[in-house]
Structure 1
Amino acid sequence: METLDHRRAEFAANVWNHADDPFQMSFDERPPLSAAEVEALREVISTVLDESPERSAQIIGRALARDPVLMGHCLQLVGLTRNKIIQDLKAATRTGAVKVQVPSSYKGLPGSNAWKYAGPYLTKKLQTVFLPFASDRTVLDAAIEALNQATWPGYIRQERAKRSGHEAEFRIAALHLACGIPFEPEEKAQNPLCRDLIIGNVSFDLVIPGAARPAVCIKSTVHTSNIGQYGESKDHLEVDEAKRMLDNAYGSNNRPVLLAFIDGVGFESNRAGLHGVLEKADEFCQFNTIWKAIMISSTKISTPMTFVIPKNSQANHKAFLSRHQGNSRIVDRESYNLTGDEIEAGEALILI
C-alpha cells in the first residue's frame, strides 16, 4: 500500500480543475432574461417604488402567486436565495413575531397566510435595491439585467454546491453503466440525488454489484471551496466509520474494497480531512483517474476490459495496477488509434 505522502502527491497531481468543467460552467453562465421576464419585473418594481411595502405586497402577491419563476427572479435580484426567505420567516415564528404556517418552499409564499409577513419583507428589499432608479425609469431594464448577472453566482451557490457534490456520484455511476458493470442504487446513473445504499447502518453512494454481495463500496466527496472544520471532520469520520464497519462485518477473504472518490481544490485549504480519507480508504480515485474505479470493479466481478492509459500514468500507478489489473489488458494511450468505441474515463479510455 502506498504511503500517505505518495497518496497526497497523487491527489495534488490530479486535482480537479472545476473552473473549466462544462458541468460547473453551466452554473456560471447566466442566460439573459427574456423581454417578457424583464417586463414582468419592471411592473413589480414600479409597483413597489410607487406604493408602501404593505400595499405593494398585496398588489404583486397575485402576480407572484401565478408565476413562481417571477418570484424567484425577485428573490435573486435583491440578493436573497430561495431558502433565505423561508429560514428568516421560520426564525420569526419561533420568537412569536410571526404566527402562521410557513410553506416549505418560496413558491408557496404568495397567496398563503405567510405572505402577510413575507410580502412586506420582500418589497422592502426591492425598494432598497431599486430606489436609486426611481427618478429615471428609462434605465430600469438595463439595471434589471445587470443585477441578474451580478446576483446569479450567489443565488445559485447552494444549488451548485449540492449538485456539485452529487455530480461525482452521477459520473461514477454513469461510467459503470456504460461499462456494463452492475451496481446499486441503479437510479444513481439517472438521478444522483436519490438515496444512498445502506449496508450495516453505513451509507454508500454506490455499491458494486449490490448490497446482497458487495465487492466494492464507494463513498464520494468533492469540494470546490474551503471545506472548513465541519467538512474536515465529516469526510474523515464517514470514511473511518465505513472502514470499521466493513472490517467488522466481513472476513479478510470477502471484505469489499472501500473506494473513496475524492477531489476538489477545497481539500487544499484544510488538509486534515483529505489526509483522513486517504489514510482510511483502501483505494481512492479522482475525476482524472476515475478509470481506477472501473478497474477495481471489473476485477472484483471478473469482467476484464482493455484500459488505454498514458505511459506516465501507468508508471505513477504501478503499485495500484499490480493490485487490481487482474486479467484486464493495458494499452499505451500514446500509440493507440481511436476507433470510436472507446468509453472516456478521465485520462484513460476503456474498451469492453
Structure 2
Amino acid sequence: MPDLRRLRIRGDEMTNLLDNIAEFRAFVWDHSLDAFQAQFDERRFLNDHETSSLVKIARASMSEPEKFGIILKSSIYDDAAILSLVLQICGLTRNKILQDLKASADLNKNGIQIPGKYSALPNSRAWPAASSYIASRMRKVFHSFADQSDDALGSAIESLNQATWPGYIRQERAKRSGHEAEYRLATLMFNCNIPFEPKMKAENPLCADAQISGVSFDLVVPSVLKPILVFKSTVHTANIGQYGESKDDLEIKHARAMIESKYSSQRPILMAFIDGVGFYSNKSGLEGVLTGSDEFCQFRTIWKSAAIALTQLRRNFRIYLSEQDMISFEPFLKRRGCIDSVVIKTTADLDGSEIEAGDALIKIF
C-alpha cells in the first residue's frame, strides 16, 4: 500500500514548485531595459585621435609584419588603450589572443612565456609573434579598403567599432552581470541599515564571498558567526549550457546540506537570488534552485530579501507594494511574518525618504 503521507508531501512540494516557477516567469528580469545592461550595449563613438591611429595601423597591416609591429607598438606607447581597440575591431578579444599564443608550438619550443594580461604583450618576448598574429587579422578585415581614402577607412573603422563591441565586451558583461545581483543585494542591505558580510560587497561586488564551513555565500546577514539569512545568487541572460545547469543546482544543494548538518536549531534562511531568461532553457537548474532554497527573490522582487532580514532583526519598517503584488505575495508575507508591515503603494503617504527595492519601496523607522 502506498504511503499516503509521502504522496501528500510530494504533491505539496510540486504545487509549491509550480507556484515558484510561475512567480519566476512573471517577474523575470528584462535585461534589455535595464540601465546596468545598457552600459554594455551602447558603444561610444571613437574620437579623432583613436580613428586616425587605427587608420594608420590598418594601412600598416598591409606591409611586412616587422614594420607593422613597430608602428603598432609606437601607437600603443602613445595611447595604451589603442591595443584594446585594435583587438576589438579585428573581432578578437583580450583573452583569445592570449590563448591562441599559448597554443603556439614555436613559442613553446623556444620557452617564450605568454603574459597573463594582453596589455603586457608589447613589452614581452612574445610581441613579434603577437604583432604578426594581429597583422594577419587586420589584413583580412581591411584588405578591401587598401585603395580607399582615409575618410572612407575611418568610416569603416567606426562601423566596425559599433558592430564588434557586443562580442568584445561579452565576457566582461557576463562577469559583471553575474555579480550585479549580489551588488544590488548589498546596496539594499546597506541602505536599509541591515548588517551583512562581506561588507565590501556594496562597493566591490567582485570581492571574496563569505565562507561558512567551507561553503561560499554571496551575502550573509548579519554575520558569518551568527547568520540568520544567507544568499546564493545566480543570473543568466542567455543559454548557459549543461555545465551551468548542474552548477546552479549543486551549489544550492551543497549549501542546504551544510546548513542542515551544522545548525540543529535557529537555522539560517537560505535565500536564492535567481533571475534571467537564461533559466528558460535551464529547467533542471531552475527547479533545483527553487526547490533547494527556502525562499527566492529576483531583481523586481528584491524587496523580499529586505523584508525577511528586517523581520528577523525585529526592525520597524514598512513596505509599499501595489495592490496586485500585495495579493500575489500574501502567502510569502504571512509565512515570513511581515504582512502587518505592508501597505498599498498607491494609498501610502510617501515623503521621498523611501528606499527603492525592485517593484517596492521600503521605509525604515
TM-score range, shorter chain: over 0.9
- Write the distance in 1 (CA, Å) between the matches of 2:148 and 2:22: 58
Match of 2:129 in 1: 117
Counterpart secondary structure, 1:182: coil
Displacement of 1:97 in angstroms is 5.2
Residue 83 of structure 1 is matched in structure 2 by 95
Q: Where do 1:98-117 residues align within 5 Å? A: 99-117=111-129
Listed one character per residue, the Cα deviations across residues 257-276 of structure 1 (whole Å, up to 9, x for unaligned) are: 00000000000012110000
Partner of 2:56: 43
Are 2:269 and 1:270 aligned? no
Matched, 1:167 2:177: no
Matches within 5 A, 1:140-151: 140-151=153-164
Q: Is residue 242 of structure 1 aligned with residue 242 of structure 2? A: no
- Which residue pairs with 1:177 in the alignment? 190
1:307 lines up with 2:319 in the alignment: yes
**Aligned equivalent of 1:319:** 331
SS at match of 1:207: strand
Structure 1 portions without partners, runs of 5+: none
Q: How many angstroms apart in 2 are the aligned matches of 1:201 and 1:94? A: 43
CA contact (8 A) 2:107 2:126 kept: no
Aligned-CA RMSD value: 1.6
Once residues 191 and 302 of structure 1 are traced to their aligned partners in structure 2, the CA distance between those partners, rounded to angstroms, is 28
Distance 1:18 1:98, change over 3 A: farther
Q: Please give the alpha-carbon distance, in whole angstroms, between the structure 2 residues aligned to 1:99 and 1:118.
A: 15
- Partner letter of residue 248 of structure 1? S
**Amino acid paired to 1:300:** Q
d(CA) in 2 for partners of 1:86 and 1:93?
14
CA contact 2:60–2:67 (8 Å) conserved in 1: no
Distance 2:78 2:293 in 1: 51
TM-score by length of structure 2 reads 0.93
8 A Cα contact 1:215 1:257, kept in partner: yes
**2: CA distance between counterparts of 1:328 and 1:99?**
69
1:295 matches 2:295: no
Q: Which residue of 2 aligns with 1:199?
A: 212
Distance of 1:279 and 1:80 partners within structure 2: 41
Whole-Å Cα distance in 2 between the matches of residues 239 and 65 of structure 1?
A: 48
The residue identity in structure 1 corresponding to 2:233 is S
Change (3 A) 1:85 1:215: same
Cα offset, 1:303, TM superposition: 1.4
Per the TM alignment, residue 227 of structure 1 is displaced from its structure 2 partner at its CA by 1.4
1:131 aligns with 2:152: no
1:16 deviates by 0.4
After TM superposition, give the deviation of residue 39 of structure 1 in Å.
1.1
* SS of the residue 2:81 aligns to: helix
SS of equivalent to 1:42: helix
Q: Provide closer, same or farther for how the CA distance between residues 215 and 113 of structure 1 changes in structure 2, counting only shifts above 3 A.
A: same
Q: Gapped runs of 5+ residues in structure 2?
A: 1-12
Alpha-carbon distance change, 328 to 91 in structure 1, aligned in 2, over 3 angstroms? farther
What per-residue deviation string (whole Å, max 9, x for no partner) do you get for residues 179-216 of structure 1? 00000000000100101011110000000001110110
For 1:257, the equivalent position in structure 2 comes to 269
**Structure 2 CA distance for aligned equivalents of residues 226 and 304 of structure 1:** 41
Corresponding residue pairs, total: 350
CA distance in 2, matches of 1:74, 1:249: 53
Q: CA deviation at 1:94?
A: 9.3
Deviation of 1:91 after TM superposition, in Å, equals 2.0
Pair 307,7 (structure 1): closer, same or farther in 2 beyond 3 Å: same
- SS of 1:203's equivalent in the other structure is strand
1:81-116 Cα shifts (integer Å, max 9, x gaps):
111101111222698356311111110001211102
**8 A Cα contact 1:299 1:328, kept in partner:** no
Q: Is the 8 A contact 1:30 1:149 kept in 2?
A: yes
SS of the equivalent of 1:295 reads helix
In structure 1, what is the Cα distance between the partners aligned to 2:115 and 2:78?
Answer: 16
Q: Distance in 2 between matches of 1:60 and 1:11?
A: 50
Q: Distance in 2 between matches of 1:211 and 1:103?
A: 37
The partner residue of 1:152 within 155, 165, 177 is: 165
2:7 corresponds to: none
Distance in 1 (CA, whole Å) between partners of 2:170 and 2:185 is: 23
SS at match of 2:238: coil
Return 311-320 or 281-290, whichever deviates more: 311-320
